[in-house]
Structure 1
Amino acid sequence: MYRSLAWYCLKKGVVFDNEKAIASLCRRWKTELRNENGHVRLYVDGYYPGKEIRTAETSAAVPSVAAVPGVRKWMKARQRDCTRFGNLVMEGRDIGSNVFPDTEYKFYLDASLRAGPSAVLPMAWTKTWPSETNVIASGRRAADVFARCARHQ
């Protein structure tokens, strides 16, 4: 969900050091949660940005969006709303601690900075959409993952 908002901010030309603009866009964007074959997806203006939310540009914008308190409040409500579709498996930095603190089962994966890219890289590849325009050399992808791991240590 944070990736979707980061992508939408990029699409709308929002400056990422302007928290008020990000929060305002978050309050105004038209979204809908849909369950498609057991996968809950967030549609934005009737469109699911599955490919766009996995680009390096969107990934780089996510921390700026996630740091805005109004965005976190909005996201928490939408993430909790996903339960209307039934049982869930969710991933995210604060799903078990903040969004669903009382959930029965929580699984935490942690790795050192050295292991981070190799631990996350297979997951990152399975979440991309293979196409000629989206194929990234594994070295580049590993560098992106390593940078993300370093930011969150």
Structure 2
Amino acid sequence: MIRVAIDGPSGAGKSTVAKRIAKDLSIIYVDTGAMYRCIGLYALRQGLDTKDSQQVSSCLEQIHLETSYDVQNGQRIFLNGEDVSEAIRTPDASMAASNVSAIPQVRAFLLDLQRDMAKKQSLVMDGRDIGTVVIPDAELKIFLTASPESRARRRYLEYVQKGQQPVYDDILRDVILRDHQDSTRAAAPLCQAPDAVKLDTTEINFEDTVSIIKEMILKKAAELSLSI
């Protein structure tokens, strides 16, 4: 069993890369960011202030999350039985996720679930504090990053491909703001674990990024005599 923790700032491509690696290696993928996005989305739909810890904490007992994977639709996440895989990928949901992730009660709500997943099987888990808080004993930790401009450009293209009409400058501003919020929050701030391998993908394309990380995983598994 090998557990891979991929951390990094918003828009670094963690989820996309982790999904592909998990598929190629036939191991479980856990998208922790999607979990926070679900809570942020639920709070928004309830008209709550996503920065208000009391308001958000009071609604946690009403939230039930489930994930599934199938060949046709890929990784899906359900909020109280509703497939919100697309709904959680909007700019508003992204900012709400950043806000609620700074609330200790929210992090505690999800931490046990995430750690339990990491006890049972080989997996790739991505987020902001996987290697520092969730599974600090992961066999391999990677800090995936890129310049704010590069991350904003990639996100801009994602929105365009979905038929939206984004404004690049707005996305760049949100990326920079999200970086600040995630790295300065009191609860488990975004930071690189001391034993994590930093991979800057500003000048590296998706396929090469996947290949580099897969090579890291296979090398680490061989070093530790672990099965995948």
Q: Of residues 90, 112, 126 in structure 1, which corresponds to 2:125? A: 90
**Paired positions, count:** 148
- 1:33 Cα offset (Å): 2.7
- 1:62 Cα offset (Å): 2.0
| TM-score normalised by length of structure 2 | 0.55
| 8 Å CA contact retained: 2:51, 2:100 | no
Higher relative contact order (CA 8 A, sep 6+): 2
| TM-score normalised by length of structure 1 | 0.77
Using a 3 Å threshold, how does the CA distance of structure 1 residues 54 and 79 change in structure 2: closer, same or farther?
same
Question: Which residue does the alignment assign to 1:150?
Answer: 180
SS of alignment partner, residue 152 of structure 1: helix
Q: Of residues 41, 51, 60 in structure 1, which corresponds to 2:86? A: 51
Q: CA separation in 2, counterparts of 1:84 and 1:65?
A: 26
Q: CA separation in 2, counterparts of 1:19 and 1:152?
A: 16
- 1:60 Cα offset (Å): 1.9
Using a 3 Å threshold, how does the CA distance of structure 1 residues 43 and 126 change in structure 2: closer, same or farther?
farther
Q: Which amino acid aligns with 1:65?
A: V
Runs (4 or more) in structure 1 with deviation over 6 Å come to none
- 1:131 matched to 2:129: no
Structure 1: stretches of 5+ with no match in the other structure: none
Q: Which amino acid aligns with 1:12?
A: Q
Question: Which residue does the alignment assign to 1:73?
Answer: 108
Using a 3 Å threshold, how does the CA distance of structure 1 residues 125 and 88 change in structure 2: closer, same or farther?
farther
Q: Which amino acid aligns with 2:53?
A: E
Higher normalized strand content (fraction of residues): 2
CA deviation vs aligned residue, 1:33-61 (integer Å, no higher than 9, x gap): 32334955431121121222121211222
Using a 3 Å threshold, how does the CA distance of structure 1 residues 36 and 124 change in structure 2: closer, same or farther?
farther
Question: Which residue does the alignment assign to 1:116?
Answer: 148
SS of alignment partner, residue 43 of structure 1: strand
SS of alignment partner, residue 109 of structure 1: strand
Larger Rg: 2
More displaced stretch, 29-38 vs 53-62 = 29-38
More displaced stretch, 93-102 vs 121-130 = 121-130
Question: Which residue does the alignment assign to 2:97?
Answer: 62
